[in-house]
Amino acid sequence: MTGMPADVDEEYQREHCDVCGDETPHDVTMEIQETHTDAPREENQKFAKSPCRVITCKRCGNESRTLQR
């Protein structure tokens, strides 16, 4: 029992949460993140970004990010 309404489990992706220590409902989104800490030349700037998978636990709010290369 997660302590959440049953319909919440159906609306969100279930992922393992390190903080909760269990499979919990997560909000999963994708963001574009800059991958270079130095300033790339202007003509290369559009290539200096990668998609990043962001998962947020709906139980505790813990967020984790993974670059998708």
CATH topology of domain 6-35+48-67: N-terminal domain of TfIIb (2.20.25)
What does the domain layout of the chain look like in residue ranges? 6-35+48-67
pTM higher than 0.75, yes or no? Answer: no
Q: What is the pLDDT of residue 40?
A: 66
pLDDT in tens, 11-27: 678 999 999 999 999 99
pLDDT in tens, 32-42: 888 766 676 77
Q: What is the pLDDT of residue 52?
A: 93
DSSP for 11-67?
HSEEEEETTTTEEEEEEEEEEEEE--SS---GGGGGGSEEEEEEEEETTT--EEEEE
pLDDT tier, 45 (very low <50, low <70, confident <90, very high otherwise)? confident
